[in-house]
């Protein structure tokens, strides 16, 4: 017994109507019923809609006449052809992962916004518009994550060379403040509860604080601030260049582009943690041997 897919369902029991079923149609609206269903009610199951705009035959005509709605397409499967890495976004909730940028927009020659999205993977709705803005205006932007975690952010985005260099300078800036910190600890800095008390402590013990430690601490603070500002302002520009360079390299040499996007792109939380531990604890470890 095969289902006739051109036949509708019984409006009472909602079961499919088969070729061999005894079907009865309402003489008023044409609604299909199993004969048993029609007889059990003694009337059309949709009789209450007769004479209204919701009458079965009227609704059917409207449905057939109405244009078919465009299918809801996840941003991973846009109208353009498949791009390696699309499968990463297939099972994610529908949203604009491109941040309003057309999928085929070239952020650089031979590198589209969609390819950049498939490489960046995480927080693409921020980075793809940033890449586009840099391409159009060739100006820097501001990255708060890069400001607060310069070394860690670079490492997490797999820009290892820059991350290591910035990390070294962060450690140097921290080491520069250690002589002053040690002096203040010896003077009872841990007992200080307010900024006024700390200022008074420093003023009262200026003779005990070597000018070189003050200078080193000042230089370390300036270096730390400069590093944060530089990475925050140039980070998106560096990341865009990194993404473009890696995508072009992968497209030219890779046998599995989608897999290499995952390996070289996205975010590494492990490297973020490594950078955080290094910048927080390495200065203290190094200081033990100085």
What is d(CA 7, CA 29) in angstroms, rounded to the nearest whole number? Answer: 16
pLDDT (tens digit per residue) in 109-165: 999 999 999 999 999 999 999 999 988 877 778 999 999 999 999 999 999 999 999
Which residues make beta-bridge pairs with 256?
A: none
Position 79 confidence tier, pLDDT thresholds 50, 70, 90: very low
pLDDT score recorded for residue 240: 96
Neighbours of 4 (CB within 10 A): 12
C-beta separation of 97 from 125 below 8 A: yes
Q: What are phi and psi of 160, to 5 degrees?
A: -65, -40
Q: What domains are there in the chain, each with its CATH number? A: 1-69 (3.30.40), 75-137 (no CATH), 144-287 (no CATH)
DSSP the chain: ----TTS-B-TTT-PBPPTTS-EEE-TTT--EEEHHHHHHHTS-TTGGGTTSTT-HHHHHHHHHHSPPPPPP--GGG-SS---TTGGGGTTSPS--TTTT--TT-EEETTEEHHHHHHHH-SSHHHHHHHHHHHHHH------HHHHHSHHHHHHHTT-HHHHHHHHHHHHHHHHHHHHHHHHHHHTTGGG--SHHHHHHHHHHTGGGS-HHHHHHHHHHHHHHHHHHHHHHHHHHHHHHHHHHHHHHHHHHH-S-HHHHHHHHSS--HHHHHHHHHHHHHHHHHHHTT-
Span 263-282, pLDDT tens digits? 999 999 999 999 999 999 99
Residue 78: per-residue pLDDT: 46
**pLDDT tens figures, 211-246:** 888 899 899 999 999 999 999 999 999 999 999 999
In this prediction, residue 77 has a pLDDT band, given cuts at 50, 70 and 90, of: very low
pLDDT of residue 192: 66
63 pLDDT band, cuts 50/70/90, is low
């Amino acid at each position: 017994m095969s289902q006739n897919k051109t036949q509708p369902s019984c409006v009472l029991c909602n079961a499919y109507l088969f070729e061999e079923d005894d079907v009865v149609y309402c003489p008023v609206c044409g609604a299909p019923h199993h004969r048993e269903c029609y007889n059990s009610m003694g009337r059309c199951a949709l009789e209450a809609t007769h004479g209204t705009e919701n009458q079965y035959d009227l609704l059917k005509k409207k449905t057939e006449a109405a244009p078919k709605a465009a299918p809801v397409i996840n941003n991973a499967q846009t109208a353009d052809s498949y791009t390696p890495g699309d499968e990463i976004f297939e099972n994610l909730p529908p949203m604009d992962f491109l941040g309003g940028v057309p999928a085929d927009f070239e952020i650089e020659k031979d590198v589209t916004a969609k390819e950049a999205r498939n490489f960046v993977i995480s927080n693409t709705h921020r980075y793809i518009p940033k890449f586009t803005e840099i391409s159009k205006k060739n100006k820097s932007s501001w990255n708060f994550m890069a400001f607060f975690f310069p070394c860690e952010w670079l490492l997490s985005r797999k820009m290892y060379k820059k991350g290591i260099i910035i990390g070294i300078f962060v450690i140097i800036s921290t080491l520069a403040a250690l002589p002053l910190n040690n002096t203040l600890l010896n003077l009872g800095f841990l007992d200080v509860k307010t900024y006024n008390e700390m200022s008074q402590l420093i003023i009262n013990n200026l003779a005990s604080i070597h000018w070189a430690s003050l200078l080193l601490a000042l230089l370390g603070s300036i270096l730390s601030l400069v590093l944060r500002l530089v990475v925050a302002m140039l980070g998106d520009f560096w990341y865009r260049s990194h993404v473009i360079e890696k995508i072009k390299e992968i497209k030219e040499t890779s046998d599995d582009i989608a897999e290499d996007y995952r390996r070289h792109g996205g975010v590494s939380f492990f490297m973020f943690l490594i950078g955080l531990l290094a910048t927080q604890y390495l200065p203290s470890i190094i200081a033990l041997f100085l």
